[in-house]
Structure 1
Amino acid sequence: MIRLAANLSMLFTEYDFLDRFAAAAAAGFRGVEYLFPYAYSTQQLRAALDSAGLSQVLFNLPPGNWDSGERGLTSLPGREAEFRDSVDKALHYAEALNCPRLHAMAGLLPENADEVTRVAHWETYISNLRYAASEFSERGKVLLVEPINPRDMPGFLLNTQAQAQAVIEQVGAKNLRVQFDLYHCQIVEGDLIRNLEAQFANIGHVQIAGVPERHEPDRGEVHYPAVLDRLESLGYEGWVGCEYRPAGTTAAGLSWGHAYGLSGRALAM
């Protein structure tokens, strides 16, 4: 059975952030994810989850200076101490929110990076992931890596499923998995069902969005009913994060999700 989680960084943005939890529950979601929890206390977030009867299914480790353009610390040489601090902070939130999986964003390569620089970033990435996976394992958490398309995030270290597979093999940690975002995969590689099948043993979380505009999953070039049917037939038991930007209000665009338990009911503002 496909279980949908609302990405509160993109959905229900017509509400203040802490009100989005109740809005997601009213629309029929039972799980939520978002980019980062760190602007709020664990007490505030725990109260929002409990009040709405929601599960926290995913968030990201601190990404560095997001406002200045950083998109993760994991592969940045010379920032290892900051990365380790980010692991501690993320685990503090994950334990308070009972969140089982977290994504460590790889980070950006310098513009026009040469091969020596790329190798240094890759080696730092693998080393930091080994450290984080060990720390996560002690707390019973799953660590995720995600290929992201270079159109939306130019310079991002990890772009393809083959790269993600190589990371899994090189790190060698049982609790390291792939965050398989079908939107990014379609832009970079396509062939979604065959890519899902090939990567399935490594998948720890799935995300969806329409391609190319990143609107609702029933818009654009991907026929998601077929893809999600195959995901379910493969035996996937995790969550599917709805990480898209609604074309209008969130509730107005949720008819695609009725087959997966969403009601689309709007919360009174």
Structure 2
Amino acid sequence: MKFSANLGFLWADRPLPAAIRAAKAAGFDAVECHWPYAVPAAEVAAALAGTGLPMLGLNTRRGDVAAGENGLSALPGRSDEARAAIDEAIAYAQAVGAGNIHVMAGFASGEASRDCFVANLDYACRNAASHGITILIEPLNRYDAPGYFLTTTDQALQIMDAVGAPNLKLMFDCYHVQLMEGDLSHRLETLLRRIGHIQFASVPDRGAPDHGEVNFAHVFALVRALGWPEPLGAEYRPGGDTDGTLGWLKAMRQG
């Protein structure tokens, strides 16, 4: 089993290139991030080349963070900004060799928001396809992100079907799915062919995957048995020094 360090949470106190080097030293097989845009892509690409780690993916910008925005692509009247963020993400992903872009929906509801999200995802998929980039959408739970447009895997599948693009996939975050829907094993089995990336964190505290209500040893074994070939994304809040939380990774390596 391979694992990716999400550098939005892990080693978040370090500059992104240093966090990439820390992930390599810790034994991760890949890295991923949230919003790397403040760091020149050339610096990130150099750190990736120096460690040999691939960058799996990144997110589109959230919008006006100070105003509480968390994505733009489902916000009616904001499509110009949403598409500029998509273009920016595609260019950055190309520069660092990232294969996935999570297009963030934002806080919205209703049919107009659905139509807006579908149209912007269609734009993203068409522009990403020629670069071999997969577009991801991720349901977020209502506790951490109340009012977010996309909340369940069923809703995500309906959106994906409406767009109808082969490079549009589901970001299956075990933490969010468990809080909203549960039944992780059956959902992974059923949805695997529609999934583009899998992430995890303990439930309910979003810490390291060595405690809480989900048995991640079982989940990891299931994903392996299903033939999932890609690294799983460790997107958890370490609550302190990241290196001190990596006992689970060491146990997996020893196993």
Instruction: Give the TM-score range, shorter chain.
Output: over 0.9
After TM superposition, the structure 1 = structure 2 runs for residues 105-254 of structure 1, keeping only pairs within 5 Å, are 105-109=104-108, 118-254=110-246
* Residue 68 of structure 1: how far off its partner (Å): 2.2
1:131 is aligned with what amino acid? Answer: Y
Distance 1:16 1:100 in 2: 22
The letter of the residue matching 1:44 is E
Gaps of 5+ in 1: 110-116, 263-269
Shift of 1:44: 1.2
Report the counterpart of residue 113 of structure 1 in structure 2.
none
Cα deviation, residue 51, structure 1: 2.1
| 1:112 matched residue in structure 2 | none
**Structure 2 length normalisation: TM-score?**
0.96
Deviates more, 1:70-79 or 1:245-254: 245-254
2:46 aligned residue? 47
Report what 2:65 is aligned to.
Answer: 66
Answer whether contact 2:16 2:44 (CA < 8 A) is retained. no
Aligned-pair identity (%): 39
Q: CA deviation at 1:30?
A: 2.2
Counterpart amino acid of residue 215 in structure 2: H
Secondary structure of 1:20's match?
Answer: helix
Letter matched to residue 47 of structure 1:
A
Task: Identify the match of residue 253 of structure 2 among 253, 256, 261.
Answer: 261
Deviation at 1:147, TM superposition (A): 0.5
AA paired with 1:21?
I
Conserved 8 A contact 1:165-1:199: no
SS at 2:63 equivalent: coil
Pairwise CA RMSD = 1.4
Q: How far, CA to CA, are the matches of 1:218 and 1:85 in structure 2? A: 39
Give the superposition deviation at 1:67: 3.0
Q: Which residue of 2 aligns with 1:267?
A: none
What are the ranges of 5 or more consecutive residues in structure 2 without an aligned counterpart?
Answer: none
Structure 2 residue identity aligned to 1:104: V
Cα distance in 1 for partners of 2:29, 2:252 equals 11
Contact kept in structure 2, 1:168 and 1:176, CA below 8 Å: yes
Comparing 75-84 with 171-180, which one deviates more in the overlay?
Answer: 75-84
In structure 2, the residue matched to 1:83 is 82
Moved over 6 A (4+): none
Q: Given residue 164 of structure 2, which amino acid in structure 1 is its aligned partner?
A: G
1:163-210 CA deviation, whole Å, 9 max, x = no partner? 111111111000000000000001011110011112111000000000
Aligned residue pairs, count? 254
